[in-house]
Every structure is written in structure tokens, then in C-alpha cells.
Chain A
């Protein structure tokens, strides 16, 4: 009965590759988010979608492109991966602006 799930949990890849992280929530929420947690544990929002519409788009390189096929899914595609993209990426969901529930995270390592 996982509420917010992400795949994969670990992702190791070479610089320059393109990769995707998938997120799904079964809470019936209408808003989903992507956060990046760096090596110092600092959490920063990247994107937010409400009913498949992009509503928050922080200063993130355009190599990062979120895609929301429906309200329950928000995927993150990253082009031309760089060393600095190594981090843990968390998906979260909420009902409108209410409490946010986080997924287990995807640890991305770029070599």
C-alpha cells in the first residue's frame, strides 16, 4: 500500500547520458513535486505540477524536464547528465497545498 513510489531507487550512469526517474502516487492527490537533496542533505524544490499543469519551476537547468501523463504520475527526465547532478531526488504529493508526502528517493550517481 505504498503511498508515493519512485523507480529506480538507485541510478548509476556516465556523464552525458540521458536518464529518467518515475514517480507514482496512489493517494488521489492532485499536486506532485520533485525535490533535490544534495550531499549536505539540503532539500530544494525543483518542480511542481497541479492537475498535470506546471505551477512551480525553480531555477533548474533546462536539461531537467518533468512530465506528468496524469495526476498520479510525475516523471523526471534528465538530459546530458553532469557530475553535479549527483544527488538524491525525491518525489512528493499533496492535495492542493496541503501536507506533502514524500517518496523513498532515487539516489543518482553520475560518474
Chain B
């Protein structure tokens, strides 16, 4: 089955700096890679996703890159703000195949943005 590894487990950044979280996956058939943000006491919220036919996607201050050959993908947050502090999860799945949206999550990264 799919195995997703996520690094680092914790990340402290100064407000205004960039943050990068990296994930690797094992199943070459995985074709959908979402990123979720989980604030304290809340459920995970989808912030950006990328399909395997795309190498990069950007939405304002966040961007995701995918390297299918190396089987890794990354989340980039620029100009970090205190409200970016949360736990971020990467995930992978075989979207639109026989796995019915089964997301395999990474272990999460606790991001702390200090003013």
C-alpha cells in the first residue's frame, strides 16, 4: 500500500519568512496530492492540491510542487503570517481508480510562525 513520509515534524519560522514542507510517497500509481491545514481544535481543511499531470500549482502565498520521477511533493508558504501557525498534512491517493479516494496521510508538520 501507499506510504507517505513528511518532513520536518516541526518548523519554526519568523513572520515574513518562507516555510517549506516536503513529502515523499511510495506508490507510483498515486495521482492526487492534497495538502490540509489543521488549526487547534478543528478539522483538517484542504488548502491546495495537485494532480499528477501538473508540476506546480500556486494560490496566493501557497504553492505546491510535484516531482513524479522522484515521488516527492512540497508545500511552500511565502511571507508567513502568525495565522499560518497550524499543523499541515500532506496526503496521496489514487484518485479516480479503484481506491475510492482513500487518502494516505503524512504524519504532519507543526508550523509555528513567530512575530
Binding site for B on A (CB under 8 A): 4, 31, 33, 40-45, 48, 50, 55-56, 90, 92, 94, 96-105
The answer to whether A56 touches B100 (Cβ under 8 A) is yes
The answer to whether A99 touches B102 (Cβ under 8 A) is no
Cβ-neighbour of B100 out of A43, A44, A50 (below 8 A): A50
Cβ-neighbour of A97 out of B38, B41, B101 (below 8 A): B101
- Are A98 and B108 also in contact (CB < 8 A) when A90-B44, A103-B43, A105-B42 are? no
The answer to whether A42 touches B105 (Cβ under 8 A) is yes
Q: List 19 A-B residue pairs with CB atoms under 8 Å apart, sorted by A's residue number.
A: A4-B43, A33-B101, A41-B87, A45-B102, A50-B100, A90-B43, A94-B101, A96-B101, A97-B93, A97-B99, A97-B101, A98-B95, A100-B101, A102-B43, A102-B44, A103-B43, A104-B42, A104-B43, A105-B43
User: In the docked arrangement, what's the CA distance between A78 and B33, Å?
Assistant: 31
A-B interface, 8 closest residue pairs, ranked by CB to CB distance from nearest = A102-B43, A97-B101, A43-B105, A55-B100, A41-B108, A102-B44, A104-B43, A97-B95
User: In the docked arrangement, what's the CA distance between A33 and B89, Å?
Assistant: 17
Give chain B's interface residue range (CB within 8 Å of chain A): 20 to 34
For A48, what are the chain B residues with a Cβ–Cβ distance below 8 Å?
A: 100-102
Chain B window 57-87, contacts with chain A (Cβ cutoff 8 Å), 1 for yes, 0 for no? 0000000000000000000000000000001
For B93, what are the chain A residues with a Cβ–Cβ distance below 8 Å?
A: 97
